Amino acid sequence: MVNFVKNNNYSKDWKRITICGGGNGAHALMALLAENSNCQLTLYLPLEQEFQHFEAVKNRRIPFRLIFKDKEFSVTMNRLHITSNPKEAAADLIILVVPAFTHEDILNALAPYLRSGTVLAALPARGGFEFQAVEILRQHKKEEVVIAGFQTLPWACRIKEYAKCVEIYGQKKRVGVASLPCHHVDSISMAFNKFLKLEFLPYNNMLELTLNNQGQIIHPGIMYGAFSDKLSRFYRRDEVPLFYRSVDENSAGLLEAMSQEILKVKKIIEDNSSLKLEGVISTSQWMVESYAEDIKDKSTLSKMFRTNLSYQTLRVPVKPVDGLYQIDVKSRYLTEDIPYGLLVSKAIAELADVPTPTIDEVIQRASKWVGVQYLINGKLKGKDLVKTRIPQNFGLKSLKAITEMVTKDHPY
């Protein structure tokens, strides 16, 4: 069941909190914050359709329902202000719970109204959020804004009824968090520990967050390893394969190979700088640390996926086709987790002179499915790189430049 926290003194500084987004994660976070805090809450919805929908539900005073592991809770939303105006979204803490490809537009919309001392957080950050956020804040001369990012979304969750009900299927035991400047991370992690009732693990720097983005491995890796031979098939709704339970030993081996390539990048950076990256861990270790007792069989990575209670009901993304369903290769598992994840780590690996043959294989195949070009002969020379968050797009063309940026007190 949900163990709601009634201690509202988690931060004497955060009196106003804004949640940006209207998706699965935003629904879950909104319900938990409404229950666990007495802060003034704002839901910022830049998409007019989402704004109109939420506003209509609120005006009818319909209680919001949160389902957590088959137990249902009614959450009062009378303190929630809903807006599509970025000026009204200004707050002490702003949390972006949106796909990474929307970060740029939202950051540019919010930036003129950010106040000194505001904490601007991405939940999750995905790869390269720090590069993009610093660039935008620099352009808007917002030197006193603190950037924070979370390694992953804490919950496996799905909207049951838009603006009315969300179900949380599982919750991770711990989630990594980092900040820029780095010294703010302890206070941020302690605050989130209290009002979300799980452990937020402070990372040394935001590069740890980018390299330890496990979604960049798991989502594209499973799409390629478990489903590449099923893309032409059509399914009835009840036949759509379960995503994580489809991980066999071969696809798990692919994930482990991708993970090891990123760990080699970590070693090169640590060997050639004073940067600490102990938060960058293997996918197997991350699974155990994140889900702990939810995993019934920890003997192999494939069995971890298949026996993880939090993963039992989640299916592969599909699209409707003539009354049936086909695997959707343009889902966020590829359109977000590659340009805002795996490709960022590939770019850092290239700066570190670390070969990444398995990562390259996944990027190349997925790029063809989506219809984009990132790599040519394994190198970052594709025409669509400009749309990604690789560090080179932000003038960071060496490991030294990256390590200096993520450790500066005033990176802007």
Of residues 53, 140, 183, 219, which has the active-site annotation?
Answer: 219
Residues 225-255, buried b or exposed e (16+ Cβ, 10 A)? bbbeeeeeeebeeeebeebbbbbeeebbebb
Class in CATH terms, 16-211: alpha beta
From the list 95, 113, 117, the residue with the least C-alpha distance to 41 is 95
pLDDT computed for residue 104 by the predictor? 98
Question: In a 3-state reduction of DSSP, which class is residue 92?
Answer: coil
Question: What CATH topology corresponds to 215-395?
Answer: N-(1-d-carboxylethyl)-l-norvaline Dehydrogenase; domain 2 (1.10.1040)
Structure token pair of residue 208: 């740890």
| pTM of the entire predicted model | 0.92
Query: What pLDDT, on the 0 to 100 scale, is given for residue 69?
Result: 75
Cβ-contact 189, 204 below 8 angstroms: no
DSSP secondary structure letter of residue 242: B
pLDDT of residue 410: 66
Helix axes 249-271, 343-351, angle to 10 degrees: 40
Tens-digit pLDDT string for the chain (412 aa): 333 333 333 354 788 999 999 999 999 999 999 888 888 999 999 999 999 999 988 888 888 999 987 788 888 777 899 999 999 999 999 999 999 999 999 999 999 999 999 999 999 999 999 999 999 999 999 989 999 999 999 999 999 999 999 999 889 999 999 999 999 999 999 999 988 988 999 999 999 999 999 999 999 999 999 999 999 999 999 999 999 999 999 999 999 999 999 999 999 999 999 999 999 999 999 999 999 889 999 999 999 999 999 899 999 999 999 999 999 999 999 999 999 999 999 999 999 999 999 999 999 999 999 999 999 999 999 999 999 999 999 999 999 999 999 998 766 5
- What are the residue boundaries of the structural domains of the chain, listed by start? 16-211, 215-395
Q: What is the pLDDT of residue 385?
A: 98
Query: What is the model's pLDDT at position 37?
Result: 81
Q: Is 81 a catalytic residue?
A: no
Q: Enumerate the H helices of 292-396 as residue ranges.
A: 301-306, 332-335, 343-351, 357-370
